[in-house]
Amino acid sequence: MAYIRNSAPTRRRVALGAVTAATVAATLAMPLSTAWAQQDARSTGAGRAALQRDLDDIVQKDGVVGAQAALVDGKSRISVRSGTAERGTGRKVPHDGYFRMGSNTKTFVATVMLQLEAEGRIRLDDMVDDWLPGVVEGQGNDGKRITVRQLLQHTSGVPDYVPHLPGLFDEGEFQKHRFDAFKPRDLVQFAMRDKPTFEPGKGWNYSNTNYILAGMIIEKVTGRNWSEEVRTRIIKPLGLKHTYSARERADFGLPWPHANSYQQFKPGGPLVESTEVNMSWGDSAGDLVTTSKDLTRFWRGLLGGELLKSKQLKEMQTTVPAPREGNDTQERMGLGIFWRPLSCGGGYWGHGGTTLGHLNANGFVGKGERGVVMMRSTNLNTVDRDVRADELLDDALCKRK
């Protein structure tokens, strides 16, 4: 899927270590600049060790082929990696290799939509049918009753198209269908085979179809494909030199360097190499490619107010409960952005992503001053595959050692 929600995180209690009088005295005896420098060095070293430990756990305990994580705090940046970039080789995972971000694409699309709202070119309370007449209809689905805001917040009730994709998530059919091409209208029509999940505005359910429709609306408003608007409005202004839409390249692979990706289609099944795949099935719901540095720059730019005016950023961060079966973390959803609580108090903003083989998780606090991006090159078919990823984010953002 373009995105699969993280399962409930397992939280660990950490006792605060005692600081000895000798340590305090030694620190106070130093010049302040030296004391701070040594404190920063110790903090950076401890942060790197904790991040490496958590990443190793993901690779070794979950059976992931390779993984990479980057932690930023102010001007400092830590990057760690684990496993290999390709099965059966000793090739290391690149520190800043390309990967498919999956549903983090939705945050980019929501940002463009909010920029258009700020320009007065669209309203969040416009109906889908105002821009795409007759596109959302059948089986009780009705674009005359669904707003743009509801699309961006997954409160529309529009069913997901992903379960209807032919053969793409079946091990026996994958090789046959991995290069199939889809148009956005095709994906919406898949979804229209099903009845609405609920009445518009009367519930919450994650549906990739919402963002296919959002991408179609952006094109209707601007006359340009959503990916062109993302490039003009986000990628270029932020200087994201390694972020692009898969539709913009003729091949189905990834630029160098990258870690190969592997998909497990059924629990306990083999890992199938899936690096080359046609991502038109994800489109505006999940086809962007990036690197950890670029994705970090995006989140810091977004939360720091570089992309949206304060009114639109507030709209994006106005959340509703995002309840899912088996989750008790009080997760909430804004417009293309999730808020999740931290075990140490407060919470973080982010939006993970899942594709055929690549998964990423990310989280940033406040205005983006501290954050972590983690990429796994293996998509496992297990219920609890994201528990250790949640722990990594929690440990990194709570500054655990």
Count other C-beta atoms under 10 Å from residue 382's C-beta.
14
Which of 44, 118, 92, 134 minimizes the C-alpha distance to 313? 118
Q: Give φ, ψ of 342 to 5 degrees.
A: -105, 150
Count other C-beta atoms under 10 Å from residue 383's C-beta.
10
- Cα dihedral sign for 63, 162, 274, 53? negative
**CA-CA distance, 142 to 134, in Å (whole number)?**
8
Residues 6+ apart with CB under 8 A from 217: 113, 122, 128, 131, 132, 148, 151
**CA-CA distance, 306 to 279, in Å (whole number)?**
29
Give kind and range of the element (H or E) at residue 285.
Answer: helix 283-286
Which of the following is catalytic: 103, 207, 227, 274? Answer: 103
- Residue 274 designated active-site: no
Can you read off the two tokens belonging to residue 135?
A: 């596109």
**CA-CA distance, 299 to 301, in Å (whole number)?**
5
| Adjacent-strand bridge partners of 375 | 68, 360
Catalytic residue numbers? 103
